[in-house]
C-alpha cells in the first residue's frame, strides 16, 4: 500500500473516497513526517497538529455523512503570509510579533470550505521578499535535494515560498498555498522539483494575504503534480467582493484541462529568454521540452518579446515602491512588535520598532521604494517603470492577440540555474535578484505562469520549465504543463523526504 505521505493529492482523494484511509490517518502521517524532518528542513514555522487532527476528524465525519467537499481531508501547508484565524501569522518577520489574526484570508477560507486540513504555517522570506528563503525571521529553509557529488552542502529551496516548496517536496504536505510577486511560486517549485502555478492576477483574492506589492502579488498552489495544482487552484480561486482587483470570472475545472491534447497548439519560444552565460543544461532542457511538445502535436514558434530585457529593473522599481507604502502600517501602534520610545517621541517609536522589526532585505526594499517615489525621482523611476511595464504587457498582448494570435502559450526555462548553496549569492543582492529573470514578466503583465519539473542538472538537482499563458486561460497553461510533465516522466526523489530518511536513520 502507498505510504500516506507518498500519495498525490488526487491519489489521496481517491483513497479517502474508497475509505482506504481516513483524513485523520492522513493528517497524522504528515504530522509524524513533519515532526521527524522539520527540525532539519525548517519548512514549517508553526505546526498546528491538534487543530489539524480535529479538522481531519470533522472531515471524516462529513465524508461519512456524504458531505465531502472537493478537497475533503486533504492535508496542506499554508504559507505564513496568509492570515489564518486564531493562528499566529508572521509573514516571516519579527515586526508582526505575536499577531494572531481575527480573520481568515479568502483563499484559505475557500480551501477550508472545500474540506482541506491545514497542518501548519510554512516558512517564507520576510514579507515574501527573497529568492532563497534565507531572509525569514524564523531562519532559513533547507532544500530537501542535495547535489550528487556534494551532498553535504545545504541548498536553498528558493523563495519566497521556500517553506511550502520544501514541505511539498519532502512529503510534509500533499500540497501547499504560496504567493508569487516576481517568481515566488515558480522559482522554489523549480528548485524543489515540484509543480507551482501563479494564476492570472485577479484569479485569487488577495484579501487577508499580507501584502508585498499589491499590483503583482498573486496567490497560487504548489503540489507534486500539475493536476494537483489544478485541483487546488480551483478551490482557491473565485471572485471576492472584498478585493477590488479580484476578477468576476467563472472558475473552470482546471484539472479537466490537464487531460486536454496540445495537438495544434502554437507554443511561443521568446528569443529574449536565451541569456548570455545561461548553463548549457538549461538550454538543453528547454529544447527538450519544446521537442516533447512537438512530439505531442504542438507547433513551436520563435517569437520576440522585445521589452522583456527591461522586466527585471522595472520589477525592482515597481515592487519596492508598492512595498514601501504597504509596509508603512507596521508602526508599533496597533499590533505586532512595539519597541517603546524615549521621551514620548512618536518618531522615535517608529524608528525603534521598525529598526528592530524588519530585516536587512526588507529595509533595503523599503528604502529603494521610498527613493523611487520621492519628489524629484518619481518621474525618472516609478513613472518610467510604469511605462515600461505597459510595453512589456503589450509585447504579450501582441503574441497572444485574440485575432491572428501568434501563439497559445509560451514555454521558457523557469530559472536561470538550479538551487544554489545557502551561503552563495547572499552578499550580492543583484545576483540574487537575477533569479527572477524568467518569472517577473508574468507578474508585470498579470499572466498565469506554471513551473513544471522537467529534468535534472548534472549535479542531480531538479530543473523546471515555465509555461506562460493568456490572462484567464490557465486551462491551456495546465494542458501544456501536463503534457510536459507526461513527457518528462520526472521521477527523481529528493535526498530528504518522509520515509526515506527514516529508513536511512534506521
Partner 1 sequence: MSYTVEGSTGAWEVVVGLEVHAQVVSESKLFSGAATAFGAEPNTQVSLVDAGFPGMLPVPNRECVAQAVRTGLGLGAEIHLWSRFDRKNYFYADLPQGYQISQYAHPVVGEGAVEIELADGARKRVGITRLHLEQDAGKSLHDQHPSKSYIDLNRSGVALMEIVSEPDMRSPEEAGAYLTKLRQIMRYLGTCDGNMDEGSLRADVNVSVRKPGEGFRTRCEVKNVNSIRFVMQAVEAEARRQVEVWEEGGTVRQETRLFDTARGVTRSMRSKEEAHDYRYFPDPDLPPLVLEQGWVEELKAALPELPDARRARYARDFGLSPYDAHVLVLEKETAAYFEEVAHGRDPKLAANWVMGDLFAALNRTRRGIENPPVSARDLGALLDLMGDGTLSGKLAKEVFEAMVETGQAPGAIVEERGLRQVTDTGAIEEAARAVLDGNAGKVAEYRGGKDKLFGFFVGQVMKAMAGKGNPALVNDVLKKLLG
The answer to whether 425 contacts partner 1 (rule: CB under 8 A) is no
- 79 as an active site residue: the answer is yes
Binding mask 433-462 toward partner 1 (x if CB under 8 A, else -) reads: ------------------------------
Give per-residue burial for 160-185: e unless 16+ CB within 10 Å, then b: bbbbbbbbbbbbbbbbbbbbbbbbbb
- 132 as an active site residue: the answer is no
Edge to edge, the sheet with strand 75-79 lists 44-47, 117-122, 75-79, 175-180, 218-223, 195-198, 449-456, 462-469, 409-413, 266-270, 299-303
Active-site pick, 59, 105, 132, 184: 184
Residue of 62, 63, 60 whose CA lies nearest to 27? 60
The answer to whether 96 contacts partner 1 (rule: CB under 8 A) is yes
Q: Which residues pair with 463 in a beta bridge?
A: 455
The answer to whether 329 contacts partner 1 (rule: CB under 8 A) is yes
Concatenating the DSSP letter of every residue in 471-492 gives TT-HHHHHHHHHHHHHHHT---
Total site size for partner 1, rule CB under 8 A: 45
Q: In this structure, what C-alpha cell is assigned to residue 195?
A: 509543480
The answer to whether 335 contacts partner 1 (rule: CB under 8 A) is yes
Dist CA 250 CA 304 (whole Å)? 31
Are 38 and 172 within 8 A, CB to CB?
yes
Smaller CB distance to partner 1: residue 24 or 331?
331
Q: In this structure, what C-alpha cell is assigned to residue 374?
A: 520621492
Dist CA 51 CA 24 (whole Å)? 11
CB 358 → partner 1: shortest distance, Å? 13
Residues 6+ apart with CB under 8 A from 302: 268, 269, 271
The answer to whether 355 contacts partner 1 (rule: CB under 8 A) is no
The answer to whether 91 contacts partner 1 (rule: CB under 8 A) is yes
Are 170 and 498 within 8 A, CB to CB?
yes
- 324 as an active site residue: the answer is no
The answer to whether 248 contacts partner 1 (rule: CB under 8 A) is no
Smaller CB distance to partner 1: residue 91 or 482?
91
Give the residue, chosen from 172, 209, 267, 471, that forms a contact with partner 1 under the rule CB under 8 A. Answer: 209
CB 263 → partner 1: shortest distance, Å? 38
The answer to whether 89 contacts partner 1 (rule: CB under 8 A) is yes
Smaller CB distance to partner 1: residue 37 or 107?
107
The answer to whether 211 contacts partner 1 (rule: CB under 8 A) is yes
Give the residue, chosen from 139, 151, 241, 259, that forms a contact with partner 1 under the rule CB under 8 A. Answer: 241
| Terminal alpha carbon distance of the chain | 21
Q: Point out which residues bind partner 1 (CB under 8 A).
A: 82-83, 89, 91, 96, 99, 101-103, 105, 206-211, 213-215, 241-245, 321-322, 324-325, 327-329, 331, 333-335, 344, 346-347, 350, 370, 373-375, 378, 382
Q: Which residues are catalytic?
A: 79, 160, 184
Amino acid at each position: 500500500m502507498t505510504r500516506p505521505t507518498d500519495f498525490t493529492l488526487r491519489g489521496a482523494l481517491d483513497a479517502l473516497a474508497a475509505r482506504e484511509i481516513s483524513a485523520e490517518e492522513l493528517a497524522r502521517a504528515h504530522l509524524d513526517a513533519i515532526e521527524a524532518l522539520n527540525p532539519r528542513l525548517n519548512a514549517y514555522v508553526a505546526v498546528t497538529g491538534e487543530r489539524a487532527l480535529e479538522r481531519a476528524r470533522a472531515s471524516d465525519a462529513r465524508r461519512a455523512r456524504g458531505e465531502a467537499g472537493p478537497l475533503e481531508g486533504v492535508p496542506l501547508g499554508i504559507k505564513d503570509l496568509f492570515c489564518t484565524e486564531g493562528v499566529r501569522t508572521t509573514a516571516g518577520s519579527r515586526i508582526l510579533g505575536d499577531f494572531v489574526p481575527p480573520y481568515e484570508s479568502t483563499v484559505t477560507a475557500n480551501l477550508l470550505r472545500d474540506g482541506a486540513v491545514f497542518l501548519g504555517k510554512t516558512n517564507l522570506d520576510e514579507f515574501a521578499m527573497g529568492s532563497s528563503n534565507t531572509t525569514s525571521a524564523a531562519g532559513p529553509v533547507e532544500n530537501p535535494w542535495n547535489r550528487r557529488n556534494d551532498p553535504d552542502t545545504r541548498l536553498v529551496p528558493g523563495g519566497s515560498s521556500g517553506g511550502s516548496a520544501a514541505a511539498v517536496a519532502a512529503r510534509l504536505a500533499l500540497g501547499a498555498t504560496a504567493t508569487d510577486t516576481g517568481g515566488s511560486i515558480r522559482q522554489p517549485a523549480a528548485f524543489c522539483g515540484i509543480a507551482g502555478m501563479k494564476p492570472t492576477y485577479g484569479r485569487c483574492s488577495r484579501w487577508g494575504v499580507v501584502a508585498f506589492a499589491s499590483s503583482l502579488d498573486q496567490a497560487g498552489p504548489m503540489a507534486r503534480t500539475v493536476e494537483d495544482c489544478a485541483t487546488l487552484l480551483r478551490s482557491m480561486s473565485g471572485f471576492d467582493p472584498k478585493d477590488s482587483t479580484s476578477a468576476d470570472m467563472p472558475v473552470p475545472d482546471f484539472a479537466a484541462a490537464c487531460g486536454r491534447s496540445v495537438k495544434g497548439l502554437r507554443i511561443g519560444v521568446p528569443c529574449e529568454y536565451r541569456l548570455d552565460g545561461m548553463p548549457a543544461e538549461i538550454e538543453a532542457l528547454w529544447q527538450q521540452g519544446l521537442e516533447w511538445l512537438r512530439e505531442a502535436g504542438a507547433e513551436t514558434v520563435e517569437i520576440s518579446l522585445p521589452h522583456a530585457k527591461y522586466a527585471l529593473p522595472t520589477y525592482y522599481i515597481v515592487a519596492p515602491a508598492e512595498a514601501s507604502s504597504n509596509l508603512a502600517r507596521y508602526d508599533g501602534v496597533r499590533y505586532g512588535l512595539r519597541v517603546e520610545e524615549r521621551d514620548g517621541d512618536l518618531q522615535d517609536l517608529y524608528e525603534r520598532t521598525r529598526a528592530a522589526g524588519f530585516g536587512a532585505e526588507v529595509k533595503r526594499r523599503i528604502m529603494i521604494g521610498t527613493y523611487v517615489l520621492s519628489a524629484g525621482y518619481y518621474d525618472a523611476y516609478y513613472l518610467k517603470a510604469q511605462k515600461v511595464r505597459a510595453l512589456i504587457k503589450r509585447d504579450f498582448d501582441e503574441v497572444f492577440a485574440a485575432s491572428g494570435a501568434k501563439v497559445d502559450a509560451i514555454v521558457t526555462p523557469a530559472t536561470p540555474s538550479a538551487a544554489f548553496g545557502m551561503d552563495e549569492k547572499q552578499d550580492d543582492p543583484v545576483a540574487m535578484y537575477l533569479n527572477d529573470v524568467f518569472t517577473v514578466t508574468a507578474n508585470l503583465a498579470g499572466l498565469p505562469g506554471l513551473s513544471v519539473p522537467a529534468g535534472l542538472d548534472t549535479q542531480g538537482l531538479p530543473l523546471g520549465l515555465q509555461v506562460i499563458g493568456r490572462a484567464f486561460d490557465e486551462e491551456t497553461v495546465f494542458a501544456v504543463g501536463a503534457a510536459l510533465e507526461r513527457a518528462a516522466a520526472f521521477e527523481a526523489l529528493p535526498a530528504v523526504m518522509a520515509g526515506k530518511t527514516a529508513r536511512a536513520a534506521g
